[in-house]
Chains A and B, each alone.
Chain A
Amino acid sequence: MKEIRIHGRGGQGSVTAAELLSVAAFEDGKFSQAFPAFGVERRGAPVQAFTRISNNPIRLRSQIYTPDYVIVQDATLLETVDVASGIKDDGIIIVNTTEKPESLKLDTKAKVMTVDATKVAMDIIGVPIVNTVLLGAFAGATGEINVESIQHAIKARFPGKVGEKNANAIQKAYKLIKGEEA
């Protein structure tokens, strides 16, 4: 089983990202589960959402404390939230930032990767909404999920132009993090 924790701020679509990830994982033929760290959500407040992906039915209902992967939507969270908390040593943390991984100075043995998801979102979608873009980066960085499955999931959730633009942005982030594009 692979466990993913998404850090964001209220309004950034962390919960939607976790849900889309679960839909995409299922399309890949795996069992999946997505849920928010239920809170009294407020725009701008730090929030978490979780996804589990497994080859077997998922019964576990606790929150995720030792994730395999962490996605951080907003680098300003690094100042107040321990995003690396509990992550496995061979895990990956993906941060939306213009910085290089080493300059983030995260206290972790896990691999840190960065992508300027905000730029991708502005260039392709036209708004600074990065949740779907980061799912493309996640697919590229981890190989846990087919990028096409994420694109299908987003197009089903947001039919028409919005879905198309998001799918393009997902593709861009996927290639950026794999180093196939700059």
Chain B
Amino acid sequence: MINPAYKKKMVVVEGSYAVAHAAKVCRPNVISAYPITPQTHIVEDLSQFIADGEIPNCEYINVEAEFSAISALIGASAVGARTYSATTSQGLLLMHEALFNTSGMRLPVVMTVANRAISAPINIWNDHQDAIAQRDTGWIQLYVEDVQEACDTLPQLYKIAEDNEIMVPGMVCMDGFILSHVYEPVVLLEQELTDNFLPPFQPDDILDPEDPKTFGAFAAPDTYEEFRYLHEQAMQKALPKIEAVAKEFEEVFGRYHGGLIDGYMLDDAEIIIMSMGSILGTVKDVVDEYRAKGEKIGVLKVRSFRPFPKEQICEAVKNAHAVVVLDKNISIGTNEGALFTETKSCLYNSKVRVPVIGYTIGHGGRDIRVESIAKVIEKTKKVAKSGITVESQFLDLKEELL
């Protein structure tokens, strides 16, 4: 049964509502978004908050598409406004060009991405292809496991992004439908605690006619490279900041979802399953069954995909006998998911020697069953014993449809 003291703070609401509420208590000054399934309920709820006067000192800018939404926030952020948006799939792809502008101008816009597959063929269900396609846009990407984490990560991300040493935009990636449309118990972020945790946005540089500056100006070959270097430096500074902010959040709110990574039954694990997002919940349930049988299986949750926590991943897997990476995306032409490729990459020049295999899973919302996770674990146990035979493959492929 639920601890009665904790129950008092919790409500059962839709994930989208909880996220909209979290965005509200972060006190944004400008919100701009365009509705698209499965993000729609988030912006509907925010529109309602605005209409009801529940977000003081905030303007909701209605736009005709996502390119305009992110463009509006670029302008707003440059004058010193805290900004928020939410989108998914084709909407996120439509923002793509301006995502580089946002990060290149070092504007800490924060948005929620309700992850969804991309067209064609058209598909409205969940996978991570939309956000993974933005991995080189220079945005921070944090992937969350449940509704509570989707809420709690928003003020964390504002605090990271708005740090004057960092000043990089970020997205909280939550699984569309699976988290956006689920009803589950959640603590809605308290305004007072959030105010204690998250200071007002005070950028060193803003657009101000009284003190003119230029954002995103022309940079010739003699300076452009230095802009890119400083952007990369900022991302590297975000690595310890993400860890620190997660701990500060825990001190104020009493909840911790991991920093750059998080482990479950990891310390003595011989087989490690790595992944991002809500599938980790199902994986943990399966791992519990294996642990009950005495098998040393553990879970490595990667929370931060950008910046990529190379050191932390190497350290976490160093004693494992085999690692399997589950990716809800694929880089067509490599037959690999992005987390798998990058995990191998960070291990290559390290002293860690462990076989790593990958599965691309859940494409276009294909349901991932407990039995499939168990199948993956069995395959990985074989890899630990006798080496890799298939490096990366699709999970639950329907051969009869090919």
Binding site for B on A (CB under 8 A): 18-19, 22-23, 26, 29-36, 38, 40, 55, 58-63, 65
Complex alpha-carbon distance, A33 and B148, angstroms: 13
Q: A55-B1, A60-B282, A62-B282 are in contact. Are A26 and B181 (CB under 8 A)?
A: no
Number of interface residues of B (CB under 8 A): 31
With contacts A38-B38, A55-B1 known, what are 13 further pairs, Cβ within 8 A? A19-B183, A22-B183, A23-B183, A26-B10, A29-B1, A29-B4, A32-B12, A32-B185, A33-B184, A35-B181, A40-B124, A59-B284, A60-B370
B370 contacts A58, CB within 8 Å?
no
- Most chain B beta-carbon neighbours within 10 Å: one of A30, A34, A38, A61: A61
- In the bound complex, CA of A35 to CA of B278 (Å): 14
Contacting residues of chain B (142-157) with chain A, CB-CB under 8 angstroms: 146
Alpha-carbon distance between A35 and B281 when the two chains are bound, in angstroms: 15
Write out the residue numbers on chain B whose beta carbons fall within 8 Å of the beta carbon of A19: 12, 14, 183
Closest 7 CB pairs of A and B: A59-B281, A34-B183, A38-B177, A35-B182, A26-B12, A23-B12, A22-B183
9 pairs, CB–CB < 8 Å, chain A vs chain B? A19-B183, A23-B183, A26-B7, A30-B2, A31-B2, A31-B185, A34-B183, A34-B184, A59-B146
SS of B interface (majority): mixed
B178 touches A35 (CB 8 A): yes
B contact residues vs A (CB 8 Å cutoff): 1-2, 4, 7, 10, 12, 14, 38, 124-125, 146, 175, 177-178, 181-185, 278-282, 284-285, 365, 367-370
Bound CA–CA A136/B310 (angstroms): 53
**Known A-B contacts A55-B1, A59-B284; A38 and B183 likewise in contact (beta carbons under 8 Å):** no
Q: A60-B370, A62-B369 are in contact. Are A32 and B184 (CB under 8 A)?
A: yes
List chain A residues, Cβ under 8 A from B368.
61-62
Is A26 a contact of B125 with CB atoms below 8 Å? no
Chain B residues with Cβ under 8 A from A62's Cβ? 282, 367-370
In whole angstroms, how far apart are the Cα atoms of A65 and B371 in the complex?
A: 11
Residues of chain A within 8 A (CB-CB) of B370 are 60, 62
A30–B2 Cα distance when bound, in Å, is 6
User: Which residues of the other chain, B, contact A26 by a CB distance below 8 angstroms?
Assistant: 2, 7, 10, 12, 185
Query: What CA separation (Å) do A171 and B254 show in the bound complex?
Result: 40
A1 to chain B, nearest CB (A): 10
Cβ of A5 to closest chain B Cβ, rounded Å:
13
